[in-house]
Amino acid sequence: MGRSRKRRLGSAILLTFLCISTIFAISRTALAESNHFGDSGSDISIVTNGKKVDLPLPPLVVGDRILIPLRAVSETIGADATWDEETRTIHVEQGTTTTFLLWPDLNCMKVNDALKPMEVPPRIIDGRTYVSLRFLSEALGDEVTWDSADRTAKITVSGKIPAVSPSQKTSLEWSIFGINVGDKEAHIREKLGEPSRIDPGEYGYDWWIYNADPLRLVMVGVGKGTVKTIFTTAKEALVGGISIGDNLKTLKRRYPLTEKVQVDIPEGTVEYELTDEDRQTRPLWLQDGVAAIFYIDKHLDSRISGIRLLDVNQLWVEPHYSYHARLRRSISSLPEPFLQAKKAQPILQAYERQILDLTNGVRKTMGQHTLVWSEGAARVIGSHNRDMIENRYFGHVSPSKGTLGDRLQSAGVDYELAGENLAMGQADAIEAIFGWLTSEGHRENLLNDKFREIGVGVDLGKDEEGNIVRYYGQNFLVK
């Protein structure tokens, strides 16, 4: 075993040495060529997510390859590029999960800890770094297409959140990554690019999911072409001068949180009462027609772990989602829940996917690895949800199918260690996740560093009073 480890290490050292040797072998030639390299592509345009990129210098055409200024384009695709003069190394970071090291005129790059070939090496021309469009598609995973008629390279970035600008880091605006409640779809695409997917929703909007980097998870609720709500767990987000990771005391110093919050909507006035638990785990603040819910992790120095902005009218549309509502003046009754059994399945499946995203977002923020989907575990928790609904109970032990271990064994799902979280009544996946996070036992499952797989089930049933509610469940596994 010891010999095998040494052999693998030796190979890595040898490969690194060969790349460095190549740099020294070609550096003199590169200097000689730096005055003129390739033809100017002054008629070539670069468009990222439908928006033309302003380039300080035109692209270069080398044979059938197009090289573009890295820094100018990197900022539009959620990457950060820097140059280290001492080591002559180009550092490219995308989000928080991937780091690239590139060297001028060298046809290999280092991706995290692995060396990989590059078809066209980077070039330093007049003090600027140029990379090929192929690097964007093959290394960064962005979609790059070439329109020969218009001489335009079109870059599509999906699911990635762009780097935060210095002005955003000090902004007091009630926005998340430059997105405000009420913004149009075109503005979302301009700021965030294309989502990883769009999930159906039940409250008058669909969810645009940006989950390419779990540490920068963003969910935007879009209804009738307009932002109705936006949520994030990203530490870089700044909302009204408050960031993920700030504690409850910091929030209270900036905003005088109260027990009762009144909201004027077209139908009249609603007064929301916050319980002691609400004020400790999800305080509410209203400003300029926008409601902000701050999700507090009371087990981690009462730090903010998620922030959600929503149109104040959505508090009324989602009465079970928000807080205890007291009816005032002209309002006669609470609205009925949107979700009915006949149209529920696509939305419930969307909640399952979102719970996976939210789980991995929370875990990565806490320094844990992400979990992968287990179809077997998903079938087991889905079956348990339906068993609870049909037999009118709520708990981990089924009267007919036994414990979690019994259910996994009956389904033929192998495991060494397993855990289960259940929830009932929460209005959506966000509420379910943060309900679990504030409960010590559920939190232990959610953040357990031993678990590697997860299955999620969300179903629709009735509570003890006959109200239609959602049943949520997670099964965690180590095999």
Residues in CB range of 383: below 8 A, 6 or more apart: 401, 407, 411, 457
SS3 content of the chain, % helix, strand, coil (to 5): 30, 35, 35
Other C-beta atoms within 10 Å of 18: how many?
A: 11
At the topology level of CATH, where does 175-327 sit? Pathogenesis-related Protein p14a (3.40.33)
Residue ranges in the chain modelled with pLDDT below 70: 1-41, 50, 73-79, 94-100, 112-113, 134, 136-142, 157-172, 267, 317-322, 325-342
User: What secondary structure does DSSP assign to 10-21, as a single string?
Assistant: HHHHHHHHHHHH
Q: Which helix (H) or strand (E) holds 239?
A: strand 238-239
First to last CA, the chain: 24
Q: What is the pLDDT of residue 127?
A: 76
- Provide the residue ranges of all domains of the chain, joining segments of one domain with +: 39-156, 175-327, 344-478
221, amino acid identity: G
The CA distance from 201 to 255, in Å, is: 31
The model's pTM is 0.69
The secondary structure of residue 262, as a DSSP letter, is E
User: What secondary structure does DSSP assign to 23-59, as a single string?
Assistant: HHHHHHHHHHHTT--SEE-TT-EEEETTEE---SS--
Q: How many angstroms separate the Cα of 97 from the Cα of each of 42, 105, 140?
A: 34, 26, 11
Q: What is the pLDDT of residue 98?
A: 59
With beta carbons less than 8 A apart as the criterion, state whether 67 and 59 touch.
yes
12, amino acid identity: A
175-327 against 344-478: fold identical: yes
In the CATH scheme, what architecture does the domain 344-478 have? 3-Layer(aba) Sandwich (3.40)
Residue with tokens 């397993």: 418
Q: Give 290's strand partners.
A: 287, 311
With beta carbons less than 8 A apart as the criterion, state whether 197 and 210 touch.
no
With beta carbons less than 8 A apart as the criterion, state whether 225 and 184 touch.
yes
Q: What is the pLDDT of residue 39?
A: 53
The CA distance from 302 to 220, in Å, is: 25
Residues in CB range of 70: below 8 A, 6 or more apart: 81, 90, 92, 122, 128, 129, 130, 131
Burial 109-126 (b: 16+ CB within 10 A, else e): bbeeeeeeebebbbbbbe
Q: What is the pLDDT of residue 33?
A: 29
Q: How many angstroms separate the Cα of 479 from the Cα of each of 384, 397, 445, 446?
A: 21, 22, 16, 17
CATH of segment(s) 39-156: 3.30.457.10
User: What secondary structure does DSSP assign to 338-395, as a single string?
Assistant: S--GGG-HHHHHHHHHHHHHHHHHHHHHTTPPP-EE-HHHHHHHHHHHHHHHHHT--S
The CA distance from 289 to 309, in Å, is: 10
